[in-house]
Structure 1
Amino acid sequence: MAERSPHPVSPNNPCPFLRALVAQGQLDNRAATIGDATRAIEQMAATGEGEPQLPGLAIRLIALLANGLGPGALLDNALNGVRLNKLRDGPFDKKGVGSRILDARGRVRTAELDRLAGFASRKRTATGGHELGLDADELAAMMDANLARAGDRARPVDRQLMNGEWPVLLQVMGKEGKRGRYLSVAEVRSLFIDRRLPARMRKRLGKPALSR
């Protein structure tokens, strides 16, 4: 059976993982209560290989802070939820210091995906096959290169923000290869271009939350 067309995703949501959850119908494009957002992220993460467990308290804190650090923004998020269509330019937006795969209008820059693949190497899968992938060391090298590329634009916090993205994506989406866990370059491309998490994860999850 063919999969349903993805739900629309705001260009002001720059997080590829959250964009996929919105496209799959796990989260609303506009806003989600902190509890709903936390549950959706935890449930999706647990479908990865080894059933990764993300810290719920940390997810809740990030959701609370995601739209701004002022008292009004914090109160609004606490009462009304995180606004997924207003994450760009928020506290966790690196403002072009990161991978630059998504531009300010939410469009994919394929040249940056090709650059990402340049940090990858051939990985041997658990079943004996091979594919291009990025392990923890290669992701660290890519993040360091992103920071160096930004030059004076980089802030001290940007490298820490990167640590909350790619290593977590490795934990959630990574595959266990013969020599350790890695991110499949093909699956990362699909995450950005198709706004779709791997079929192996979607199959374990079941029905989208918005259609239940």
Structure 2
Amino acid sequence: MDGLITGADKRVRCWWPGDDSGYLAYHDHEWGWPTKDDTRLFEKICLEGFQAGLSWLTILRKRDNFRNAFNQFQFEQVARYTKADVERLLNNTGIVRHRRKIESTINNAQRACDLVDEYGSLAAYFWQYEPAKQSKQYDYATLSQLNETSESTVLSQDLKKRGWSFVGPTTAYAFMQAMGLVNDHLEGCFAHQAVEVQRALFERP
């Protein structure tokens, strides 16, 4: 198996979105596209934390609920949440009601504010962990088993040192893949070259 599938629209894609329409849209228009939007970066690393032990599709289907529950992931606002907000979120059936993950999101919002004070933006901090060069494109056999890299391990370690939680190396690598710090669309996937073009045009913060 080469890890490529052909959809009903005749486009060739990576294997992992299957035939779910929401997952296909996420693969086609979001995953791997580089961004320096601080709100999107914060949202993604938080949702990856919520995803621990679950599937990403579960989180994706609840994403709008998460956004509504967490002030659209405006971390300056989330950083001011109180115990009352924790209880409010624990009673919200539209999200993953896990106390430690909810409290982690509030903590991480506070730590995100610290990073902005130090670096000027979350983007400036996170993009320093972009690999110097992606020397070769991973094949399906490698990508389907790849959970972390040396760069994601270093990112995870630094975040933890700064007080972040639910940011292990696997979470950090999923974040790097989704936010375009690497291009892990398979060669042959229609999005691979489109993402390469965007990465070439992208102005790093």
* Higher strand proportion (structure 1 or 2): 1
* Higher helix proportion (structure 1 or 2): 2
TM-score range relative to shorter protein: 0.3 to 0.5
TM-score (norm 1): 0.34
TM-score (norm 2): 0.35
